Amino acid sequence: MTHLVMVRHGQSQWNLENRFTGWTDVDLTEQGRAEAKSSGQLIKETGIIFDAAYTSVLTRAIRTLWIALEEMDRMWIPQTTAWELNERHYGALQGLNKAETAEKHGKDQVHIWRRSFDIPPPALDENDERHPKHDPRYAKLDAAYVPGTESLKTTLDRVLPYWDQTILPVLKQDQNLIIAAHGNSLRALAKHLLKISDDDIMGLEIPTGNPLLFDFDAAWNVTACRYLNADRAADLPSL
């Protein structure tokens, strides 16, 4: 049986400040580091030997992976960073306080921007210094792939090909893998793996720093899925 663990990065500084983060590069808080350490301990306690790891190009996810691997005594395993695993880009909302944005635009509108499947927030102008075209991480990336905003659907459109072309072939070599990423990139992947509908995905929330363990059968269907910290688990669809 092959295993996959997905872990959302620990609390970031902008999580703490209740701000939209998206592709903005924000580091972990002390609580976030503690959550990453706990994630590593929980993964180690499964007794599963993990062979490789994947993460985004954003510090909060990379650091979460490093801390978790240190707890697992697996810092030496291959680690791949990929922009395709980045958080969803929140467009012009990035950096704004969520509560203040809800007061300005209405709670219902902000809920749609945050949780709907295919409705993105307002886009960033390309001349805005917050636009990722100005970030050296994406300097060699085709401009067509550098977003000014994203919905969960367009996030899935970049996550799924990376899963199909890069991660799944490694799983098929009977390697157990870890993905340390973000709430929405992991929601997109969970939508695919758990066959969650466009409507039901609005209700899926992935907690920070609580590893989600997937087991697969020989046909690469998910046979089991559970959070490793049951006390902090969110609802999951039945398989």
Instruction: Give the residue numbers marked as catalytic.
Output: 9, 87
- Radius of gyration, CA atoms only, the chain: 17
- Those residues whose C-beta lies under 8 Å from the C-beta of residue 118, and which sit 6 or more positions away, are 151, 152, 153, 198
Distance from C-alpha of 33 to C-alpha of 11, rounded to nearest angstrom:
8
| Residues 213 and 226 sit within 8 Å (Cβ to Cβ) | yes
Tell me which residue has tokens 């907690």.
207
Q: Considering only CA atoms, which of 33, 39, 35 is closest in space to residue 53?
A: 39
What span, in angstroms and rounded, lies between the C-alpha atoms of 127 and 131? 7
